[in-house]
Amino acid sequence: MNRLINRQFLKGYHEALNVSHEAAIGHKHHLDIANINANNNTNYVAVRTIAMQKHLTSTGVISGGWLMSQMDIAGAILAWDIIKRPIFTVACEHIQFHKAVLSGDLVSFYPNLIKKNNTSIEVFVDGKIRRPPAGEDRQVITGTFIYVPINKE
């Protein structure tokens, strides 16, 4: 529901400004679909955030549900940019948790197009962390999400 409210807000905001989002913030926001290479690897960070204490489980690690919701948002951003229509998630598959995420970790989600069909789009999302002070990216979660466009009828 929050994403729907945010989309409606942003649409109204952009219309009120009468400029594109890129022009309003001074840099490119949307993925350039022409830059998807043969491996569909874009190195496009769709979501980057800091894991916080409020996302911890009773065992002291970040909740897998919170990580999956961030992955879903990252995949939806890529799907939206490709099909240029509102979409919704119909499935998530092959979710694998590779390492624990701790409070304070910088978490980045990289969506990659797997397949675009007539009625759906399949996106692989790779989640990585950067933990101070090392500064190296480490893979923590991966999964595939399937989205379909919302029918206006």
Same domain (yes/no): 9, 61: no
Helix (H, G, I), strand (E, B) or coil at 24: helix
Measured CA to CA, the distance from residue 27 to residue 42 in angstroms comes to 18
Neighbours of 86 (CB within 10 A): 16
Same domain (yes/no): 41, 109: yes
Q: Along the chain (153 residues), what's the average pLDDT of each consecutive run of 10 residues?
A: 42 42 37 43 81 93 95 95 91 94 94 92 95 84 95 70
pLDDT score for 17: 37
Q: What is the CATH number of the domain that holds 68?
A: 3.10.129.10
* Residue-number span of the structural domain to which 26 is assigned: 1-30
pLDDT score for 2: 41
pLDDT score for 136: 82
Q: Tokens in use for 70? A: 């961030």
Same domain (yes/no): 26, 41: no
Lay out the sheet containing 121-130: strands in order across: 47-50, 106-116, 121-130, 137-149, 87-97
Q: Tokens in use for 25? A: 């913030």
Q: Tokens in use for 54? A: 């409020």
